[in-house]
Every structure is written in structure tokens, then in C-alpha cells.
């Protein structure tokens, strides 16, 4: 199987009246593997936060550096401070380690089981058990492939609604069925996580009786998105730029009126403009056959960058998701970049547009180029591979 790619998101809800969450998620990403650790500290508030933070940080750091599970668990047990009230040092944890080839290693200690959905169907995970440093640990090894969904959760999820809307809480079975149904909608990890978390909040009547955390991992195949923006500094390079752009597989996006005219001319496909404004401050999109999205340049790219920043800060919030669903050029572009892209290829023309100049900047720096550079930085922050070609 070709190398897989991962879309991951998590969200925590604090126990009602608590300022700090007793759950903690740590994610470590590198070229060879992806590690997600969810820890739930004993109790709630400050003490639980300290326990879960130490546990998740120790585990993610040691596992990333190649330490054995035995050494990792032993270090956690010996490091956690003892609760002065309960006289124990206790924090549950779940570890999900996925290699770039799809080989998956799952470890759980005293937490709700991982939900694994394959082809839209809930899968049973075969565990083995052993005791390490006095802790009964469950382990599983299996392989994942594009389209699979894996969700880790704290016990605040399975107990959601207890004493309020449900006498015994939501239960793992109900939560896993919910995730199974959501997986069939082909949603991003952020959307699944946000929906599950919001449902828990509603079951608690927005007064959670426990810290509640969801961490979702979606397995992806490679998805290329190419953006062409700006005319080449030498017009003789127009054809070469368009040929390079069109030769890359995947989705194709053109940003900018001049760029759209160049692509239309070189491909022989007509540019069909629109005068329908979905959002007053974002110019309407256009159409060129063979191109997935044609937008205006600077204003659209600037708004796209704003959406990406919001996504990085709060990926699972309703307001963030709504920003991608508005239907204007910027929201459509942001949605593609966030949810349908693992590799971003930029084809950047460097001819300066006088309208895109700032008198306070050096003459060779275009506002559009600065925005594109910022967009690249943001895409790398969310784990996408970025390549740039200048013309």
C-alpha cells in the first residue's frame, strides 16, 4: 500500500465549574509515524490536569524517541505525584501509534476502548493483555487504510447524560454507533470530533459532570491540490507555467483574474465569470472547464488565510466549520485545503501587479506573494506537504 496520511483533531469539554480540564491529548507527527496520546487524570480540576499532562507528555515523548512500552509505563508510574486525598497516583491513558505504511499499535489502560470504523462499519479490535509495573495493559496491532476512522475518548463521553437525560449514561456502544454513522458522511476529523463533543454537551444539558475529550484520526490517501496564482515575470513563460500546472494530478485552483485569463487562453477553454456575490466582501468565483475552482486573487487569498488561522486555533468549533461552509471563493478554497489536501503545489507567477504594492515594502515584494507565503506556512502547520514553483 502507498504511504498513508493522517487528519487528526481533538476537543475537550471541562467539567462544569472547573477552569482546567483533567484530560489531555498530545499529538506527535513526523515522517514515519503519528502518535496520539489521550490521558484522563484522577478526579478533576488542577490535580487531574497535572496528572494527565505529565502522563501524556511522558508517553508521547518517550514513544517518539523509541522507548519500549515497559520503560514508558514504568516512568509514568514512578513520576506521577501521589494525590494527597486519595493517596494514589493515577491517570488512565490510550496510545495510538500509526506508521506511514498503516501499521497501527494501540495501547489502553483503564479507558473506554478505541472506536475503529472501516468501510463505514464498526470493527472489533482484538486485544491482548499483560501487566506492566502493576498496571493491566491492553494492546492491539492491526493495519489501517484510507477511509478508516479511529476515535479515542475519555470516560466523560460514555457517561454523558448520566443522572440527567440517561440513567446509565450514553454508553460506549451508543457513542461508537454515532461515530460509525458519522463516518459514512465522509466528514473530516474536526467535524466528527466537534459533532461528537457537541452531542455530549447536549446530553449533559451543557453542565458536564465530568471532563469529556474526543480525539479522532482519519486515514487518508494522498490528495494533491495545485494552485496557480500570478502571471510569470516573462510572458513567454505563460505556456510553460500552465503546462506544469495542468500536468499535476489532483484538484486544480486558479486565483486571480489575470491568472484565470492566462489559463483560459493556454488551455483553449473559455473563462465564464459570475456576478453572483455570496458574500459582499469576497468577489464571486468563475469557471474554466478542467479547473475545480477559479477565484479572485488578493481578497480571496487573504480571507482564506484568515479561515486557516481560525482553523488552527479552534478546528472543532462550530464557528470555524461554518466559515468553510459559506459558499464563497475563500470558504470553498479553505475547505479544499483543510479537508481534501495532503500535498499543496503552488505555481506562482512573480510579475508585479501595481495594485498589489505597498509603498512601505521593498519594490520586489508583492502583497499577493506575502499572502501566499503565509498560506504555505499555515498549511505546513496543519501537517500538509507544500511545494512552490516560481515563474
> Quick one: angle between helices 189-203 and 172-183, nearest 10?
140
Q: Cα(175)–Cα(159) distance, rounded to whole angstroms?
A: 10
The pLDDT value given to residue 359: 52
DSSP letters for 333-350:
HHHHHHHS-SEEEEEE--
Structural domains in the chain plus CATH codes? 5-220 (3.60.40.10), 224-390 (no CATH)
Q: Give the pLDDT confidence of 301-357 residue by residue, as tens digits.
A: 999 999 999 999 999 998 999 899 998 999 999 999 999 999 999 999 998 765 555
Nearest to 337 by CA among 230, 251, 256: 251
Nearest to 205 by CA among 249, 257, 165, 147: 165
Q: Cα(313)–Cα(324) distance, rounded to whole angstroms?
A: 15
Query: Judging by DSSP bridges, how do beta strands 251-255 and 343-348 pair with one another?
Result: unpaired
Q: Give the pLDDT confidence of 186-244 residue by residue, as tens digits.
A: 899 999 999 999 999 999 999 999 999 999 999 999 999 999 999 999 999 999 999 99
Mean pLDDT of 89-110: 93
Task: Record the pTM.
Answer: 0.89
Amino acid at each position: 500500500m502507498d504511504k498513508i496520511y493522517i487528519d487528526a483533531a481533538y476537543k475537550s469539554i471541562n467539567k462544569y465549574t472547573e477552569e482546567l480540564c483533567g484530560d489531555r491529548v498530545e499529538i506527535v507527527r513526523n515522517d514515519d509515524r503519528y502518535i496520539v496520546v489521550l490521558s484522563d487524570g484522577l478526579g478533576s480540576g488542577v490535580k487531574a490536569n497535572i496528572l494527565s499532562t505529565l502522563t501524556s507528555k511522558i508517553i508521547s515523548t518517550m514513544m517518539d524517541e523509541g522507548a519500549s512500552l515497559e520503560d514508558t509505563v514504568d516512568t509514568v508510574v514512578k513520576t506521577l505525584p501521589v494525590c494527597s486525598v486519595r493517596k494514589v497516583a493515577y491517570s488512565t491513558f490510550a496510545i495510538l501509534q500509526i506508521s506511514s505504511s498503516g501499521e497501527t499499535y494501540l495501547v489502553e489502560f483503564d479507558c473506554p476502548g478505541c472506536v475503529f470504523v472501516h468501510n463505514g462499519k464498526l470493527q472489533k479490535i482484538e486485544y491482548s493483555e499483560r501487566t506492566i509495573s502493576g498496571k493491566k495493559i491492553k494492546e492491539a496491532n492491526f493495519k489501517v487504510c484510507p477511509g478508516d476512522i479511529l476515535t479515542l475518548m475519555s470516560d466523560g463521553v460514555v457517561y454523558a447524560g448520566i443522572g440527567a437525560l440517561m440513567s446509565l449514561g450514553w454508553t460506549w456502544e451508543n457513542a461508537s454507533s454515532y461515530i460509525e454513522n458519522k463516518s459514512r458522511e465522509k466528514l473530516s476529523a474536526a467535524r466528527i470530533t466537534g459533532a461528537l463533543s457537541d452531542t455530549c454537551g447536549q446530553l449533559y444539558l451543557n453542565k458536564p459532570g465530568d471532563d469529556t475529550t474526543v480525539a479522532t484520526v482519519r486515514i487518508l490517501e494522498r490528495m494533491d491540490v495545485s494552485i496557480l496564482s500570478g502571471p510569470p515575470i516573462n510572458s513567454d513563460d505563460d505556456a510553460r507555467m500552465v503546462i506544469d500546472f495542468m500536468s499535476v494530478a489532483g484538484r486544480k485552483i486558479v486565483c486571480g483574474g489575470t491568472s484565470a485569463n492566462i489559463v483560459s487562453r493556454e488551455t483553449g477553454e473559455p473563462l465564464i465569470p459570475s456576478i453572483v456575490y455570496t458574500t459582499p466582501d469576497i468577489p464571486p468565483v468563475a469557471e474554466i472547464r478542467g479547473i475545480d475552482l477559479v477565484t479572485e486573487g488578493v481578497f480571496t487569498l487573504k480571507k482564506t488565510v484568515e479561515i486557516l488561522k481560525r482553523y488552527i486555533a479552534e478546528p472543532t468549533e462550530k464557528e470555524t466549520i461554518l466559515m468553510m461552509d459559506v459558499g464563497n471563493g475563500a470558504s470553498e478554497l479553505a475547505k479544499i485545503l483543510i479537508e481534501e489536501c495532503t500535498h499543496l503545489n503552488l505555481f506562482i507567477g512573480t510579475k508585479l501587479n501595481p495594485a498589489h504594492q505597498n509603498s512601505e515594502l521593498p519594490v520586489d515584494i508583492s502583497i499577493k506573494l506575502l499572502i501566499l507565503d503565509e498560506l504555505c506556512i499555515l498549511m505546513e502547520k496543519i501537517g500538509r506537504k507544500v511545494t512552490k514553483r516560481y515563474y
